[in-house]
Structure 1
Amino acid sequence: MKIQKVLLSMALTFGLCLTACEKEENLLNKSNPNAQTQENFWKTEADAINGINATYANIQNRTITLWEVFHYDMRSDEGYSQSPWTELANVGKFIINDYNVPFVREMYTDVYRTIYRSNQVLTFVPEIEMNERLKSRILAEAKFIRAHMYFKLVTLWGGVPIVTTIQLPTDRPAQATETEVWAQIEKDFTEAKADLWAKEEYTGNDIGRVSKEGATAYLGRVYLQQKKYAEAAAQFKEIIDLTPGKFDLMPNFKDNFTEEFENNKESLFEIQFTNNNGKVSGFPVYDAAGGDETSERAQFFGVRTSDFPAPEVVGGWCDGQPTKWLLNQFLIEKDKNGNVDPRLQYTLYYKHPGELLFGKTYEERKIDENQRFWKKYTNYYKTTEGYFSGINTREIRLADVYLMYAEALNELGRTAEAIPFANLVRLRSNMNELPLSMAQTEFRERLRQDRVLELAGESKRFLDMKRYGILGPELAGPNPDLPPNVADFDTEFKNFVKGKSEYLPIPLYEIDALGPEKIKQNPGY
């Protein structure tokens, strides 16, 4: 924290004496004795708890939790945008001409701000006299959050500066390679895992803090994304061994995306939100108490039911929508009873008999029947879609772990062992079991499909596509001139440039600040 000072800007005439100016300056530039500073804050156990809580607060920040949905989901073949903000709509089209555009610059900045808060905890808490087990846990929490932030940086921007200490304004950390960033992430999650508490040890107001099991699952994801299949499988196996006693799938798929069943037995790590900003519509008040603790995802991605800001608004702004390709994936396979995959009705709005958009049909809302909207993580089960949502974002849940474990086993040639874990996820949604006799290649393709159906709209698909090596302009399909709302492919991929579009541009302000000798722009930008 910076020392707050009382500053006075005075217009001085040329004839004033320099000595008098210096005396005036010394008189006015006084430190506020009541302000918390770096020197007087990190003293007690309460300070340590408040410090790590401030770090948690920043992972809720809208500039991270909102913009990342555009960067991950809209850039995958699951989503596209018709936002009236042209630059925002262009993200999914792989068109970014302004490298300081807010949704790139703000996310990059606030991810590093969160890392800075983690580094403060890791620097000052070790010197505090307090309960040693609690101290170890707080330090582990800081490492987890730092690794969580670097995971976003490396997957969206690639090689970036690694900062693990408190930086001075004059410091110019050099750009690291992707390999070095991944190594730092592995180190932080491994060390965090050793000292974090088990999920059940958190009670009361501590429910929702990162846990040992969350670090284990996240470390497995980190290994899997790098195709370190044996290491990934080992981490996932530790979670599998805790089922069904400590962790299990929720009976109903839909219960993973509402406020009612947060931090449930399927959840390993989720971002905590609360709807405490009060309004049904209108803009948030970020400087209000708890103003940053609400999620804006439902408003930005919910179905648009009327023109904002009309008083009759009950839906969202529809800045991001699911592709027709995604809808078609749900229609390929019927469930055991010959019905449409039941996960579809809790993932998307789409035109079909009985579909209501906050109580009215497509026709009553005067909405084109070709339009589809996100339902997952929205307040579709309420009467209105307010600006603020309290629905927690489930970063890692057991169904994802089952499918990642199955992928790791399959890539290790252990296909027969892998298939039952995919079947656990399928059976929860009344889908038919896959035969254990499937070959490795056949199961690989089926598993990729299953991940789409289970995890659509959860910011996993773009990472999956990158890991599979399938990102490319060919995804635009045979007729890339068709609009995304009618094409069977994601036509926005016609702009995808291999070797460039896998990453976002590093904000220009960062390159200007560090200098070209310290950091280079990503290829193609």
Structure 2
Amino acid sequence: MNTKTLALTAMMTGGILLSCSESKLLDQVNPNQASTATFWKTSDDAIKGVNAAYSAMQDRRFSLWIRFLTDLSSDEGYSQSPWTDLGNISKFIVTDYNIPMNIEPFQAAYQGIYRTNQVLENVPNIKMDATLQKRILAEAKVIRAYFYYNMANIWGNVPLVLKSQTLSERPAQNTQQQVFEQVIKDCQEAAVDLPDGYTGLDVGRLHKYSAIALIGKTYMQQRKWAEAATALKQIIDQTPTRFDLVPDYKDNFTTLLENNKESLFEIQYYDENESKVGGAVNYDVAGGSESSEHAQFFGLRNTTGFDKGGWCDGQPTKWLLNEFLKEKDKNGNKDYRLDYTMFYSGSTLKPHGYTYADLTRLAAGSDYLPERDRFWIKYTNYYQSTDSYFSGINDRVIRLADIYLLYAEALNEQGQTAAGIPFANRVRARVNMNALPLTMTQNDFRVQLRHDRVVELAGETQRFWDMKRYGILGPELAGPDAGKKPANESDFDTDFTTYQKGKSELYPIPLYETDANPNIKQNPGW
């Protein structure tokens, strides 16, 4: 070997050794950072672990985008967003399967599931109070069930990952039915070890009836009426002592009366100005998880002379407005819930101090359409000075009014119409609507319940699931206005013009997932 070769060899060897040396030097474990070897040792670790799983439900990648995949996909909402991909979601048009509003909630859900699996695998090995240990494991199971319930409804056939994965694993795909079965299994097991409720700083954690409510809703989506009724009755039997409807409907959607007697499953957020436990709190930047971005994305449209609203990326349909106007209350007034659901030309509310006429006047010359547009009020900060990224309004995932109406539906579908009607009347009585007669036929009550669920639960991610259960999704919902009137003017939801039966019931599984995992097949039609 000549000297040039020796020199080159020495240089290359030295470079490799140096690179290896540098690699070892840089690849160090931070002794101050928790790892699986140092964590999961104490009961405090167990609590922190399950708290991280709760945080996953707050994650804006899931909690925000799910609104677009549900409320705007139903006939309740549509979008005029200038962000084309976002606006197309409500039209069932997805050209890029990796757009944020499709891939981010998918990934965020599995990250949340990963956190629950870590709890379930590690907490049993901690020497701690047995009752607390069982409770923490049960909480993790309900959180995992919550993610899978939503994933089954949105994407259908997804992998059931029930243990921590390694990087090389490619889990098998499960059917929607199997996913629903796992939701029920997790919640049934959890209900045994969860308390009836909490006090102090633990208020807001998932309890026994959170799990039971999710069981009931999962059975309903499978049209298993008897099983659903059995589960839901366990909650009914706890009224009015443990659970009850709050006297004022609007108190379910502000920061002022959170975790109330009507709430069964609630995701916690911090208010912009103060911590819920008192004292100051450091907020995440926009896109963080301690506050909700719902109000920012759905709030009144900012326009000339008005900068207190949001981006208005989602709006209520005229069809929804018409649904509210179908019935008047006992005194001949419009449905009380309407003003606390949407802002429209006949609103009596003054969000951020403005009337509808004020906003129309301020918007002269802009794209604001007088007397035509409607805007979400529910879950926005209309009663405060402005909307922002840092809304503290908790998401009421499941509340008693929903349970009453589902129980009534489950009974009615079993031919027990007269037994179901009183539960619908409880919801109607709160807002002074006339009681339904016990002599209604099964089909008449079925139609009435569909109306009652719309006006009670609009904008609460329920309608799209309901429409699937009813079997009413289809392009015919676009009505005769398709291609003739803009979405904000039509009495129908013209977004359904592009709905394709056998395809649009589910969203496409993100391309990153199908590319990375050969065991995952794309949903039909995509």
CA contact (8 A) 1:150 1:181 kept: yes
Q: CA deviation at 1:321?
A: 0.1
**Separation in 2, partners of 1:39, 1:379:** 44
What are the Cα deviations for residues 395-436 of structure 1, in whole angstroms up to 9, with x where unaligned? Answer: 111111000000000001100000000000001000000000
TM-score by length of 2: 0.92
Q: CA deviation at 1:16?
A: 2.3
Asked if residue 429 in structure 1 is aligned to residue 431 in structure 2, the reply is yes
Asked if residue 149 in structure 1 is aligned to residue 157 in structure 2, the reply is no
CA contact (8 A) 2:301 2:309 kept: yes
2:298 is aligned to 301
Q: CA deviation at 1:180?
A: 1.0
Query: Which segments of 5 or more consecutive residues in structure 1 lack a partner in the other structure?
Result: 1-11, 279-284
Q: CA deviation at 1:22?
A: 3.7
Asked if residue 389 in structure 1 is aligned to residue 385 in structure 2, the reply is no
1:462 is aligned to 464
CA contact (8 A) 1:276 1:291 kept: no
Asked if residue 503 in structure 1 is aligned to residue 506 in structure 2, the reply is yes
Q: CA deviation at 1:388?
A: 1.4
Q: Equivalent of 2:177, from 173, 176, 179?
A: 179
Asked if residue 346 in structure 1 is aligned to residue 340 in structure 2, the reply is yes
What are the Cα deviations for residues 446-496 of structure 1, in whole angstroms up to 9, with x where unaligned? Answer: 011000010000010000000000000000001211111111100010000
In the superposition, relative to structure 1, how do residues 23 and 484 fare at CA in structure 2: closer, same or farther (>3 Å)?
Answer: closer
Q: Equivalent of 1:263, from 252, 259, 266?
A: 259
Q: Equivalent of 1:234, from 223, 230, 233?
A: 230
**Separation in 2, partners of 1:437, 1:17:** 88
Q: CA deviation at 1:359?
A: 2.2
TM-score by length of 1: 0.92
CA contact (8 A) 2:315 2:375 kept: yes
Q: CA deviation at 1:179?
A: 1.3
2:277 is aligned to none
SS in 1 for 2:407: helix
**Separation in 2, partners of 1:304, 1:25:** 52
SS in 2 for 1:74: coil
**Separation in 1, partners of 2:312, 2:23:** 53
What are the Cα deviations for residues 122-167 of structure 1, in whole angstroms up to 9, with x where unaligned? Answer: 0000000000000000000000000000011100000100000010
CA contact (8 A) 1:277 1:290 kept: no
1:331 is aligned to 325
Show the 5 A alignment for 1:130-169.
130-169=128-167
In the superposition, relative to structure 1, how do residues 373 and 37 fare at CA in structure 2: closer, same or farther (>3 Å)?
Answer: same
What are the Cα deviations for residues 349-375 of structure 1, in whole angstroms up to 9, with x where unaligned? Answer: 000274534223333332421000000
2:4 is aligned to none
Q: Equivalent of 1:372, from 371, 374, 377?
A: 374
The letter for the 1-side match of 2:386 is T
SS in 1 for 2:264: strand
Q: Equivalent of 1:221, from 217, 224, 231?
A: 217
2:115 is aligned to 117
Q: Pairwise CA RMSD of aligned residues?
A: 1.8
SS in 2 for 1:270: strand
In the superposition, relative to structure 1, how do residues 81 and 33 fare at CA in structure 2: closer, same or farther (>3 Å)?
Answer: same
**Separation in 2, partners of 1:447, 1:51:** 41
1:521 is aligned to 522
Query: Which segments of 5 or more consecutive residues in structure 2 lack a partner in the other structure?
Result: 1-9, 275-281
CA contact (8 A) 2:265 2:399 kept: yes
CA contact (8 A) 1:277 1:291 kept: no
Q: CA deviation at 1:17?
A: 5.5
Q: Equivalent of 1:92, from 90, 94, 104?
A: 90
**Separation in 1, partners of 2:388, 2:324:** 28
SS in 1 for 2:14: coil
Q: CA deviation at 1:386?
A: 2.3
In the superposition, relative to structure 1, how do residues 500 and 59 fare at CA in structure 2: closer, same or farther (>3 Å)?
Answer: same
In the superposition, relative to structure 1, how do residues 15 and 487 fare at CA in structure 2: closer, same or farther (>3 Å)?
Answer: same
SS in 2 for 1:395: strand
**Equivalences, count:** 501
In the superposition, relative to structure 1, how do residues 355 and 394 fare at CA in structure 2: closer, same or farther (>3 Å)?
Answer: closer
What are the Cα deviations for residues 272-322 of structure 1, in whole angstroms up to 9, with x where unaligned? Answer: 0112489xxxxxx98569942100101110111326xx9x61111100000
In the superposition, relative to structure 1, how do residues 256 and 24 fare at CA in structure 2: closer, same or farther (>3 Å)?
Answer: closer
2:405 is aligned to 403
Q: Equivalent of 2:243, from 244, 247, 252?
A: 247
Q: CA deviation at 1:34?
A: 1.9
What are the Cα deviations for residues 91-130 of structure 1, in whole angstroms up to 9, with x where unaligned? Answer: 0011000000011111100000000000000000000000
**Separation in 2, partners of 1:458, 1:217:** 16
SS in 2 for 1:16: helix
**Separation in 2, partners of 1:260, 1:78:** 26
**Separation in 1, partners of 2:298, 2:64:** 10
1:322 is aligned to 316
In the superposition, relative to structure 1, how do residues 427 and 24 fare at CA in structure 2: closer, same or farther (>3 Å)?
Answer: closer
The letter for the 2-side match of 1:99 is Y
**Separation in 1, partners of 2:351, 2:486:** 23
**Separation in 2, partners of 1:369, 1:31:** 62
In the superposition, relative to structure 1, how do residues 171 and 360 fare at CA in structure 2: closer, same or farther (>3 Å)?
Answer: same
SS in 1 for 2:137: helix
**Separation in 2, partners of 1:15, 1:145:** 53
SS in 2 for 1:38: coil
SS in 1 for 2:266: strand
